[in-house]
Structure formats: C-alpha cells, structure tokens
Amino acid sequence: MKVAIQGIKGSFHHIVAEQYFGQNIELLECLSFSEMPDLLHNKTAEVVIMAIENSIAGAILPNYALIDEHHLTICGEHHLPIHHHLMGLKGQNIDNIKEVYSHPMALLQCHKYFKQYPHIKLIEDKDTAVVAQRIQEKKLEGVGAIASDLAAKTYGLEILASEIQTIKENATRFFILTNSSTKNSVSANKASIKFITGHDAGSLAEILTILAKHQLNLSKIQSMPVIETPWKYAFFADFTFDSYADYYDAINEIKGKVETLKILGEYNKGKR
C-alpha cells in the first residue's frame, strides 16, 4: 500500500502509518500538508495520513480546510501518544547545544522544558525527523532536534533528554484519508461533518439538540470562517453513535435545518 505522510522516516506520521497499516507499506514523504491531496487525486498514493489535532496545542485548522477544499474522505482515525525527545550527535550533552530545531507544534509542546536552558535558541523547522536527518548528515555540533525515539534510531543520534513534552499525557489525533470515491460502510460508529447554519438565534443549538435526540455523542466541534463571506462561520463536528440508523435519521433531519451540509467521512472510532 502506498501511504503518503507529512515528514520523512522517523516522523510521528511514519509511526502512525506502521501502527495502522503495518510495516509492509511504501512511504511517500511530503514536507507539507498542502502537497498531499494531489497525491490522492492523481493516484500516486492510496491513502494519506494527516494530523488533525493535538491534546495540548488543539486543532490544526489549515488541515480541516485542506480536507474540505480537496473533497477528501475520512476513512479512519488513529490516536498516537506523543513522546518528544531532545537529541543530537553522539558524544554531546545538553550544555553543548546552542540551537534546537523542530516542527512548530513540537516546540510549542516542549516550551516549558527549555525555560531552564535560556542559552538555547528554539527555531521552527518543517519536520521533526528532517532536523534529525540533517544533524546526522551534516554532523552539526551544537544543534539539537526534538523528535521521536524512532528518529533517533533511524539517524543514529543520541537522546540527550527524554520525555520533554510539557504535559506527559500528550497525544495527537490523525485522520486516514482517501479520495471522495471511497464508499462508506454501515458498520461505521463515528462520523465527521461540515455544516453552515443560518443567522437565526439558536440555530447551532438546534443542531446539537437533534444530535442528542438521536443518541449521537458529540466528541468535537470546531468553527472556521467562511472565507467568501465575512463574519460567517462553518462548523466541523465529530460524533459517535451506536446505531447507524439513528445517525442516518439525524443527518436527514439536520439537512432541513442548515444552509449546507457535507459528510466528510463515516468510519470506526479509533482507540485512545
């Protein structure tokens, strides 16, 4: 199976790919999320793995927009505990490190740790594993990376400090995405939708009431501006259900209460 990930070997997306699909896969490495949808549409990739939210940093809003704009279908989800490690060339210690590069999300999740090391400059980069690879290839002394233990093993780096994330119970949720031709299954017990309500008072509350009436459990709701219409918002919602029939009835009722409704995916709930 050809699986597109954000980042390279050793990245957290790589870990998710192997946990979800096993090791018998072909990785397609992307350094930005924006290049991933085209890999699905031109059939270079069969599936895409895309981080969508973190338990510390919150939702990755641009990825919601990518999924919507490119009409991708959510066919699964995976929750990955995130363990951040500070690493560098073998033989170095933390006093030798002057600069640490990593993905902005990783830096955000580890900011508290570096308060005790004011001499270290934190610099944003495209990907956690890319920095680890660069340190090894260019033999960069005085430079550290924040990445996974898989990245340290892959690129032969020494872990200088383990588990440096601010909150130890740190996890990221990933979507497994395909193109819009994928058919959904009535065995699904979770769904993601996008809808836009009118400006009437209580319009959002009415939708939430419909979900509750049909025994659907709202697990997340996220608002995003409608770019074409200032001060108008779309809502992205995830919910679980025990009965597909209840979900089907709820969707049909919601259709008559909103301006637009789009089903982003029906899938099986991932284990946390």
CB 108 within 8 A of CB 57: yes
What is the assigned CATH class of domain 2-81+170-178? Answer: alpha beta
In this predicted structure, what is the pLDDT of residue 192? 96
Fold adopted by 85-161: D-Maltodextrin-Binding Protein; domain 2 (3.40.190)
Comparing 39-53, 195-209, 251-265, which segment has the lowest mean pLDDT?
195-209
Average pLDDT of span 47-73: 93
Question: Residue 147 above 90 pLDDT?
Answer: yes
DSSP state, 157?
P
Please list the residue range(s) of the chain that carry CATH number 3.30.70.260.
190-267
| E-only strand ranges, 61-170 | 73-81, 85-88, 99-102, 121-124, 143-147, 158-161
Backbone angles phi, psi at 3, to 5 degrees: -120, 120
Q: How confident is the model at residue 56 (pLDDT cuts 50, 70, 90)?
A: confident
Question: Residue 202 above 90 pLDDT?
Answer: no
Question: Residue 74 above 60 pLDDT?
Answer: yes
In this predicted structure, what is the pLDDT of residue 33? 94
Question: Domain 190-267 belongs to what architecture?
Answer: 2-Layer Sandwich (3.30)
| Cα gap 98→120, rounded to integer Å | 5
Q: How confident is the model at residue 182 (pLDDT cuts 50, 70, 90)?
A: low
Arithmetic mean of pLDDT over the chain: 93
| Cα gap 264→179, rounded to integer Å | 11
In this predicted structure, what is the pLDDT of residue 222? 94
In this predicted structure, what is the pLDDT of residue 184? 59
Question: Residue 183 above 60 pLDDT?
Answer: no
CB 260 within 8 A of CB 233: no
Which range, 55-69, 176-190, 204-218, has the best average confidence (pLDDT)?
204-218
- Per-residue model confidence as pLDDT tens digits over 114-134: 999 999 999 999 899 999 999
Please list the residue range(s) of the chain that carry CATH number 3.40.190.10.
2-81+170-178, 85-161
* Three-class secondary structure of residue 216 per DSSP: coil
Instruction: Return the higher-pLDDT residue of 26 and 185.
Output: 26
Average pLDDT of span 247-262: 95
Q: How confident is the model at residue 185 (pLDDT cuts 50, 70, 90)?
A: low
| E-only strand ranges, the chain | 2-6, 26-30, 47-54, 58-59, 73-81, 85-88, 99-102, 121-124, 143-147, 158-161, 171-178, 190-196, 217-225, 233-240, 260-267
pTM for the full predicted model = 0.90
